[in-house]
């Protein structure tokens, strides 16, 4: 009969699954030099099952009952957590015990500090809390590193985890900022249009009052190289100065000036004033574009301890994006340079179109209203 009852309830259970949360603890670790700061939330129900908290057996755990067992809680918990670096123990010591409410009930909160014999470079954590009593229990770890937060799950199948605190994460950080840089150039139409405006006439030279196609690739290549290098150098300078908070400019002014730079660069193709030394223009306006990049970088948030890494990564990303655009543009423009299509439609028509778009940006940014999106 009893067996049948199990079958019966099982039938229903299979379909309904459990209605309560399983047992988890939440462990947060923050390594800092030789120290590891920790916070560990452990369900009171689990602690009661393991070491007994409800001393008057009335089914209610009071603050007084928990407080009376603080030493036992600390000893039990810390006996089930090993923190090591380079094979050396980092013994933890509980500093305070608090209480917190999670979605499934009250948790004891243990704040602790572990001191390692040397600076923590690799962290090995071995977790065994409650695994003997409840093999379905899991320890959910959040590892707070300056660059990023990592999570991991401890289970009886995987009680030990190892983390590299620098090396890999620095590289990852660099790559992340590099990607941001590429992405920003790719979606930053104002920067692309500025660069294109300067590059469009690179396959021509101005003579007898009009643009004439160049006869060889070499001067076109050098012209482009000078322009791109000047632009890069200039915006790297201001990007660094702004990111390091040496110079700060209001963003509305910067954004308006960037739009103006696009208008002027395009206008110069239609009514050439500067033709030999467009790299000077690229340098001068590049200084302004650098402030624009800096505001993006500020929005991304800069890690305090690896500012230079992030800055270089972002800048390299911007260059990589730029180079991709240039290397797609130059061969195409060179191939088409003698055609009427290039001179009339691309160089002349394109520049007019860029002027129009950039003028609208300028008006929008200077007067703070929205007509088109950039």
Partner 1 sequence: MPRNAARFLISLCFCCAPAASATPFIPQDPAQVLERLPVRPTDPAMEGLRELRRQLAADPRRLDVAIDLADRYFRLAVRQGDPRYIGYAQSALTPWWGQPEPPTEVLVLRAGLKQYLHNFDAALADLTQALARDPGNLTAWSYRAVIYIVMARYEEARRDCRQLYSRDQGLIAAACEPTVDALTGNAATAYASLAEALRRNPAATPSQRLWVLTRLAEIAQRLGKLTEAEARYRSALKLGIDDQYLLTAYAEFLLDQRRPAEVVELLKDKTRNDVLLLRLALAEQSLALPAAQTHQAAIQARIDAARLRQDKLHLSDEAIFELVFRKNPREALRLARENWELGQREPSDARILLEAALAAGQPAGAAAVLEWLARNRHEDVILLRLAAELKALRDGKP
- How many chain residues interact with partner 1 (CB under 8 A)? 60
Query: Other C-beta atoms within 10 Å of 65: how many?
Result: 17
Q: Which positions from 3 to 42 touch partner 1 by CB under 8 A, shown as an x/- string?
A: xxxxxxxxxxxxxxxxxxxxxx--------------x-x-
- Distance CA(72)–CA(83), nearest Å, equals 20
Output the six-digit token pair for 167: 């090396």
Q: Which long-range contacts (CB under 8 A, 24 or more apart) does 88-92 make?
A: 88/116, 88/117, 88/118, 90/36, 90/114, 90/115, 90/116, 90/117, 90/120, 91/115, 92/36, 92/38
Output the six-digit token pair for 349: 């028509």
Q: Which of 80, 82, 84, 137 binds partner 1 (CB under 8 A)?
A: 137
Scanning 134-142, 201-209, 298-306, 347-355 for contacts with partner 1 by CB under 8 A, the matching segment is 134-142
Pick between residue 26 and residue 221 the one whose CB is nearest to partner 1: 26
Pick between residue 15 and residue 273 the one whose CB is nearest to partner 1: 15
Q: Which of 101, 208, 216, 373 binds partner 1 (CB under 8 A)?
A: 101
What is the DSSP code (8-state) at residue 95?
E
Q: Which of 75, 99, 175, 332 binds partner 1 (CB under 8 A)?
A: 99
Is residue 124 a contact partner of residue 162, using CB atoms and an 8 Å limit?
Answer: yes
Pick between residue 76 and residue 221 the one whose CB is nearest to partner 1: 76
Least distance from partner 1 to the Cβ atom of residue 215, Å: 57
Q: Which of 28, 34, 54, 126 binds partner 1 (CB under 8 A)?
A: 54
Q: Is 319 in the site for partner 1 (CB under 8 A)?
A: no
Q: What are phi and psi of 277, to 5 degrees?
A: -115, 60
Pick between residue 153 and residue 367 the one whose CB is nearest to partner 1: 153
Least distance from partner 1 to the Cβ atom of residue 108, Å: 9
Scanning 61-69, 192-200, 307-315, 361-369 for contacts with partner 1 by CB under 8 A, the matching segment is 61-69
- Distance CA(68)–CA(60), nearest Å, equals 14
Least distance from partner 1 to the Cβ atom of residue 90, Å: 23
Query: Other C-beta atoms within 10 Å of 168: how many?
Result: 10
Is residue 334 a contact partner of residue 219, using CB atoms and an 8 Å limit?
Answer: no
Q: Is 63 in the site for partner 1 (CB under 8 A)?
A: yes
Least distance from partner 1 to the Cβ atom of residue 63, Å: 4
CB-based burial, 26-55: b 16+ in 10 Å, e otherwise:
bbbbebeeeebbbbbbbbbebbeebeebee
Q: Is 157 in the site for partner 1 (CB under 8 A)?
A: no
Q: Using CB under 8 A, list all residues that contact partner 1.
A: 3-24, 39, 41, 44-46, 48-49, 54, 57-64, 66-67, 98-106, 109, 132-138, 140, 151, 153
């Amino acid at each position: 009969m009893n067996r049948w009852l199990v079958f019966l309830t099982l039938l229903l259970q299979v379909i309904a699954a459990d209605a309560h949360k399983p047992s988890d603890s939440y462990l947060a670790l923050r390594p800092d030099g030789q120290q590891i700061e920790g916070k560990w939330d452990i369900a009171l129900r689990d602690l009661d099952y393991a070491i007994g908290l409800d001393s008057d057996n009335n089914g209610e755990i009071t603050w007084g009952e928990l407080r009376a067992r603080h030493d036992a809680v600390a000893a039990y918990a810390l006996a089930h957590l090993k923190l090591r670096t380079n094979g050396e123990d980092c013994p933890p010591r509980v500093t305070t015990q608090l209480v917190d409410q999670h979605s499934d009930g009250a948790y004891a909160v243990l704040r602790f500090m572990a001191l390692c014999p040397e600076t923590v470079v690799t962290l090995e954590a071995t977790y065994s809390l409650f695994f003997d009593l409840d093999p379905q229990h899991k320890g959910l770890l959040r590892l707070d590193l300056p660059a990023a937060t990592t999570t991991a799950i401890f289970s009886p199948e995987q009680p030990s985890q190892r983390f590299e605190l620098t090396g890999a994460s620095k590289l990852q950080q660099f790559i992340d900022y590099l990607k941001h840089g590429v992405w920003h150039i790719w979606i930053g139409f104002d920067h692309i249009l500025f660069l294109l405006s300067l590059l469009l006439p690179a396959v021509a030279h101005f003579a007898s009052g009009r643009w004439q196609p160049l006869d060889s690739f070499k001067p076109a290549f050098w012209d482009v190289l000078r322009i791109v290098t000047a632009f890069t150098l200039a915006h790297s300078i201001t990007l660094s100065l702004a990111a390091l908070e040496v110079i700060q400019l209001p963003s509305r002014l910067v954004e308006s000036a960037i739009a103006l730079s696009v208008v002027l660069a395009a206008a110069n193709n239609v009514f050439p004033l500067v033709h030999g030394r467009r790299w000077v223009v690229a340098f001068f306006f590049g200084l302004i574009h650098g402030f624009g990049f800096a505001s993006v970088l500020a929005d991304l948030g800069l890690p305090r301890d690896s500012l230079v890494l992030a800055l270089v990564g972002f800048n390299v990303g911007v260059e990589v994006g730029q180079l991709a655009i240039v290397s797609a543009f130059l061969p195409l423009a060179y191939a088409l340079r003698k055609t009427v299509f290039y001179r009339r439609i691309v160089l002349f028509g394109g520049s007019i179109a860029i002027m129009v778009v950039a003028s609208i940006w300028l008006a929008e940014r200077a007067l703070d209203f929205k007509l088109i999106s950039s």
